[in-house]
Amino acid sequence: MSIPDLDAHLLQLGALPQHRSRVLRHWLQALPLEHGRRPLQGFLPKALHEALPELLARWNGQLSLHAREGAADGSERLLWLLQDGQSVESVLLPPRAKSWGLCVSSQVGCAVGCGFCMTGQGGLIRQLSALEILAQVARARKMRAVNKVVFMGMGEPAHNLDAVLAAIEALGSEGGFAHKQLVFSTVGDERVFPRLHAARVKPALALSLHTTKPQLRRELLPRAPALEPAWLVEQADAYARASGYPLQLQWTLLEGVNDAEEEAIVALLKGRYALLNLIPFNTVPGLPYRRPSWDAARQLAARLTQQGVLTKLRDSAGQDVEGGCGQLRARIQTERVRRIPIQAVSA
């Protein structure tokens, strides 16, 4: 279901803009129906008020929770079944100083094919609708507080731009999220930058860079647009300055592959309005990369910061970075093939 479909249905039920806004606030913020100083009864048109429980059930019902798996770092992977039998993951990120993050998926599968990512191995299966993206947030908020949404799950948001930007618009207006707490993550695509500049709700931007070398980037991200890293950083930096939120540069650190680019990183990133996140790769069976030593990664981060590139080392256990999502889905699909029974869970 698209947002125009949702709007058409609300209109049929007599909703004016203030009614739409209130109903979406209840859904996206997982508010109880009796929440607020002004009762819904008497505020909403009668037909809309009567239909509301069924509407909320229908929007939430785009996903059913198939599996929920906690990790030692406090994160939880949620595997959602979609109505057509496909599945996607969201991840409740470990709480950090007043930040309760949720990583959401924007597509079933992904066309970019990053060599270090489980999701990338199977290609793109289909787009998620804006409502399927929003339902991940609404359903997660019934489980736990969420005040930040990162679009770093399965899929490349730039390849589903209309739905992702529509979801961001709804989350920033009715979802109660500060705009900087919505993080649009991309490998980089020419279409993204003008759309972000024009958006009313401007999210923070994360750019998955991974290397400064054009040829190596083409190998690591084989079906990403073949754009020069320097050009991408220039565009992303300009958007960050315009939005007022620092650019987050993601760098999955692969031993012997992209862990010796210190000089080039400083040349490219010094003076940028940006934070570089180094994320040591988590070894995944079947993928040909190795995790570098924590100590070596820590020293690299310290040297980069000393040279003027603010760098953080993230040991995310793959939870808050693209490439981590898709692992529960892949494992459960493998288990299905092996006919190991799945423990289904209720939402």
Phi/psi at 306 (5° precision): -60, -30
Question: ∠ at Cα 153 (10, 279), nearest 5°?
Answer: 150
Q: Of 24 and 187, which CB lies nearer to ligand SF4 in the complex structure? A: 187
- Give the one residue of 63, 79, 131, 187 binding ligand SF4; rule: CB under 6 A: 187
Q: Nearer Cβ to ligand SF4, position 156 or 174?
A: 156
CA dist 297 to 166, 276, 293, Å? 37, 13, 6
| Contact call for residue 112 and ligand SF4 (CB under 6 A) | yes
Q: Which residues contact 218 (CB under 8 A, 6 or more apart)?
A: 224, 226
Nearest distance in Å: CB 152, ligand SF4: 7
Of these, 104, 110, 265, 269, which contacts ligand SF4 (CB under 6 A)?
110
Distance between CA atoms of residues 173 and 169, nearest Å: 6
89 scored as a contact of ligand SF4 (CB under 6 A): no
322 near ligand SF4, judged by CB under 6 A: yes
| Least distance between ligand SF4 and beta carbon 254 (Å) | 12
Q: Considering the complex, what minimum distance in angstroms separates the CB of residue 187 from ligand SF4? A: 5
What is the total count of residues that contact ligand SF4 (CB under 6 A)?
13
- Among 88-96, 150-158, 192-200, 304-312, the segment contacting ligand SF4 (CB under 6 A): 150-158
Confirm or reject binding of residue 113 to ligand SF4 (CB under 6 A): yes
List the interface residues with ligand SF4, window 256-275 (CB under 6 A): none
Confirm or reject binding of residue 175 to ligand SF4 (CB under 6 A).
no
Among the listed residues 89, 132, 169, 174, the single catalytic one is 89
Q: Which of 51, 62, 77, 120 binds ligand SF4 (CB under 6 A)?
A: 120
Q: Which of 50, 49, 64, 48 is nearest to 14 (CA)?
A: 48
Identify whether 325 is a catalytic site residue.
yes
**Is residue 253 part of the contact set for ligand SF4 (CB under 6 A)?**
no
Q: How far apart are CA 76 and CA 154, in angstroms?
A: 15
Q: Which residue is nearest to ligand SF4 (CB)?
A: 120
> How many Cα atoms occupy the beta-carbon half-sphere of 250 within 13 Å?
23
13 binds ligand SF4 (CB under 6 A): no
Q: DSSP for 38-49?
A: S-SBTTB-HHHH
Q: Which is nearer to ligand SF4, 250 or 311 (CB)?
A: 250
CA distance 316 to 282: 9
Residues that bind ligand SF4 (CB under 6 A): 110, 112-114, 117, 119-120, 154-156, 187, 322-323
Q: Which residues are designated catalytic?
A: 89, 325
